[in-house]
Amino acid sequence: MISLFPTVALAAPLYVLMRDIGWLTSYQGLIVVYTALNLPFAIWILRNYMLSIPRKWKRSPGWTAPTHCVR
């Protein structure tokens, strides 16, 4: 993953933070850290995917809902 900030540099501050708030050995700590580190990458990938969809597909009637759901 390409990043502007090395992830290793976050290890010590994250350890101290999780220890201070009592989440060092909890699932909440893992969820917060993994989400904070992976969400920007996931948004970047999904944004590029959405930009690659042709505009004429976005304007088509099938883009908003499947035809069997429309009454």
For the segment 12-66, what is each residue's pLDDT rounded down to a tens digit? 999 999 999 999 999 999 999 999 888 988 998 999 888 888 777 766 665 555 6
**Domain ranges for the chain:** 7-63
- Check residue 50 and give its pLDDT: 86
Residue 10 clears pLDDT 70, i.e. is over it: yes
Per-residue confidence (pLDDT) for residue 59, from 0 to 100:
66
Chain centre distance of CA 59: 27
Pick from 4, 3, 34, 7: nearest CA to 18: 34
Does residue 71 surpass a pLDDT of 60?
no
What is the 3-state composition of the chain as percent helix, strand, coil, each rounded to the nearest 5? 70, 0, 30
